[in-house]
Every structure is written in C-alpha cells, then in structure tokens.
Homo-oligomer: A and B are copies of this chain.
Amino acid sequence: MTDFNTYFLMNADEVIPYVKAKTDFFDNDTELSCAEIGDGNLNYVFLVRDEQTGKSLIVKQAGDTARISDEFKLSTNRIRIESNVLKLEGELAPGLVPEVYLYDDVMNCCVMEDLSDHTILRTALNEGKIFPKLADDLTTFMVNTLLLTSDVVIEHKAKKALVQDYINPELCEISEDLVYSEPFTDHNKRNDLFPANREWIEENIYGDDKLRFEAAKLKFAFMTNAQALVHGDLHSGSVFVKEDSTKVIDPEFAFYGPMGYDVGNVIANLMFAWSRAYVTGGEEKYIAWLENTIRDSVDLFSKKFLASWKENVTEIMAKEQGFDRWYLDTVLQDTAAVTGMELTRRIAGLAKVKDLTTIADQDQRVTAERICLTAAKQFILDSSAFKTGQQFLNVLKDSASSHNMR
C-alpha cells in the first residue's frame, strides 16, 4: 500500500486511499468515486464522493511542473500559501471560504470542502443571475481579512512573521508583468488585443505617457506596500456563489500588499459584467442590481471598515482622531487606481475575461471594451477623487454615455 510519505503526482485511483489514510472525513469502508476536474495548468483537482450519501470533498494537489510541459519547473510553495491563507481567512471571515480539512506539505495537497453546489460568479453574472448577498458578503470578507491582518490591528511582530510567511515571489511576478507592465508597454509582445480595437488601444493606452507614468508609480506601490494579507486575485472567477452563499477561493496569489488591490479587483470585475449587460441589452432588473452591487461594494466596505476599526484598533498612533478616515481614503484611492489597472489589463494585456470575449457582436464588444478602458483611465489618472460607490459608478456610466450606444 502506498504510504504517501514521498511526493508524487496522484491519479484519481490513488486519491481515494490517500483521503482514507489522511482524513476521517469518510468511514473507512465507504465506497468512493474520484474524478480529476481541474482545468488549470498548474494544479490537479480531484472530486472525491460517496455516491450513496452524496458526501464529498476536494483534493487539490500542486504539480512541480506545468501540466503542459515537464520542462517548466514550478515551486509548490503556492499550495502551502493557498492552504494556510484559506485557514486564516476562515478564522477571520467565517463561512466565506471553503473549509480546509488537511494541508499536507509532503504531498503538496490541500483537502477541502466541496463547493460543487456553487457556481463560479463570473459564469453566473454572464448569465444575468442575481445574488442579493454578494456585496454584503464580499465586503465582510475584505474588511475582515484586510483590516485584521494589518498593523492597525495585529501586534507588529506577529504581522512581520506573516509578511515573512507569505512572501510570494513567483505569483507576484505574474501580477507585476501582466497587470503592471505589459498592458501599458506590450514589451513582451504577448498582449492579446481584440483586432477591431487594436488601433484604439495603441493610441489611447499604449500611446498615453501620463497613464504609463501612473502605472509605474502603482507598480512600485504593489511591490513595496506591505499593508495587509491580500487575496491577490479577487476577480469573479475566484468567487463561488449560490443564492444564499458566497465563498472566496484560490488565494494562491496571497501576499502582503495594498488593501485596495482586492477591493479594486472586485469593483473592476463587476464593471466587466455591467459593460457586457449594457452593450448586449441585459435585463434592467439585473443591471440595476449590478449597479447597486458596485455602489455597495464601495460603501459597505467603507462603513464596515470604519466600524471594524473602531472595534479592533490596537495601534496607539492609529487611534488619533480622524486617522481612520484618512487611512480609509488612502485605501479608496488605491482601490480606484487598481480598478483602472484591472479594467485595463484584461483588455489591453494578455489575460482576458469571458464577460467581454464572449460578446458575439463585434461592435458591441468594441463598445464594451472602450467603455471599460475610458473609465479605467479616469480611475488611474484621478484616483484620489473617489470616496463613494456612486462616484465609482458615475465614471462607468459617463464612459458608457460617451460611447453612446443608448
């Protein structure tokens, strides 16, 4: 019998005895099925299931080479980060992340709650589905995981130990390249532009010196500002939803960075959904909900942030009258800037979002992309002006009006 004391990549048949040996989740004599359901390039994801009771869990194993090629060596550090961050987030924001049953640093596996009854938020948004609790849940998640891991709240020596634990060179490099450099320079010549917008992007994005200069400043802030343990990849593909539940997954990009990085990613990805709905003539009720969700993602964040500050602040200097509001304003400024960076990089860079790429009509897609990019520039160039959800939304809607489809 395999003892699982030396790392190897498991197949589905090997995962069943692994789960029985390592966890108490199933009875030992239960008959289990197992299927590999991962579609990423780095990890293997197994769904293990007792077909009789329906009880199930997920085993996620990190490969030490890319799935497409043995020659591309990878650190398995990311599964340690993902597992430990999920556990920490689970303590800080109970119920808003999948439960971790086991992290195994030999087999580089994370055994966790199965969320097959949930849908990926991006997919659901593109189908026009409404999730009334979304903004409430995501703002709770962000306030709790961000503020409570910052120097405002936790003892500073403990915070520094967390900074050290979650130094994340490989995955930060991906963001540094794909978010903070290539969408403004195309210097690696791998940006993937929608042909009908190529010229517009070359002129309005790559050709804008001021924009690139601001992006340079923001890149340094991303690389140096060890403010809070950010999720680091909080787009709508990293959120599982069902009507009464929101679960944030995949924190493998987590590191100590600017709080606004997470908030801005949430806002920008809601804006992709809005732009899609707007140009394709989505349902009014759905669009109205999306607009409320964008507004609430900012305003509930601010409200809960200030309330949590009041309750949890320990840092003596942070208790100064008005410092909470000053600090929040810096987070909102970063949020606006990152909203702009995410909106930009998903159109003018390498990695795309389905919200836009699956718009079938060419003119509609051209318009949706320009709405996002025009808004993006304002978020980046005027980031200090944003304090309320309505202000964020206004920029998007004004941008839509300026590309007048309606």
Contact = CB atoms under 8 A, between A and B. Distances in A.
A320 interface: yes
A209 interface: yes
Given A169-B157, A321-B209, A224 B223 contact: no
**Range class of the A interface residue count:** 35 or more
Contacts of A180: 317
A215 B156 contact: no
* Residue among A159, A167, A184, A322 with the highest chain B CB neighbour number at 10 A: A167
A216 B318 contact: yes
A46 to B, nearest CB: 30
A167 B173 contact: no
A217 interface: yes
Contacts of A215: 317
A393 interface: no
A144 interface: no
Contacts of A323: 213, 216
B161 A164 contact: no
Nearest to A220: B151
Contact of A316 (B163, B187, B213): B187
Contacts of A304: none
B169 A156 contact: yes
Contacts of A224: 151, 225-227
Interface string A189-220: 00000000000000000000100110111011
Contacts of A227: 224
B156 A173 contact: yes
B173 A157 contact: yes
A31 interface: no
* Residue among A215, A224, A320, A326 with the highest chain B CB neighbour number at 10 A: A224
